């Protein structure tokens, strides 16, 4: 029984994703989706790291953050829009034209504040990630 040194193992290449999802305990559909996503993201990762070098990682993480935060905020926004019967609440000024006792007022405030939260969160995380990237160069 030989013991291998973990430090002597070869480092993963830049084309491999740093984190792979464990396949143990996953359904067949989940494994197929994972393989499909890896087939898409690996070539994109190779091309992006070739073109942008060290800046590729913060840029792709910012894009992933925007997608994830957008999806998380899309659900309550959609529910508020459905509750207000399809009224369009694109800015805060449209909320003040609605009576405070009307349920659409709450929906309007929810939609507009959700959009503001998205942009504040996205901008803050992106700026912090780039500052961190510059400091560690």
Alpha-carbon torsion 78, 82, 86, 92, what sign? negative
Task: Please state the φ and ψ torsions of residue 18, each to the nearest 5 degrees.
Answer: -70, -25
Of residues 29 and 99, which shows the higher confidence score?
A: 29
**pLDDT tens, residue by residue, 97-137:** 888 888 778 878 877 887 888 788 888 888 887 788 778 76
Q: What pLDDT is recorded for position 69?
A: 80
Quick one: which H or E segment has residue 18? none
Which residues, at least 6 apart from 119, have a Cβ–Cβ distance to it below 8 Å?
none
pTM: 0.53
């Amino acid at each position: 029984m030989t013991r291998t040194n973990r430090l002597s193992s070869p480092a993963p290449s830049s084309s491999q994703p740093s984190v792979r999802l464990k396949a143990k305990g996953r359904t067949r559909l989940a494994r197929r989706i994972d393989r499909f996503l890896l087939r898409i993201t690996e070539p994109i990762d190779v091309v992006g790291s070739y073109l942008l070098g060290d800046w590729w990682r913060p840029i792709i993480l910012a894009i992933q953050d925007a997608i994830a935060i957008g999806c998380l905020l899309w659900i309550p926004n959609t529910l508020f829009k459905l509750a207000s019967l399809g009224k369009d609440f694109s800015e805060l000024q449209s909320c003040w034209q609605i009576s405070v006792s009307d349920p659409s007022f709450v929906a309007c405030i929810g939609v507009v504040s959700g959009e503001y939260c998205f942009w504040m969160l996205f901008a803050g995380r992106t700026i912090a990630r780039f500052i961190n990237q510059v400091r560690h160069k």
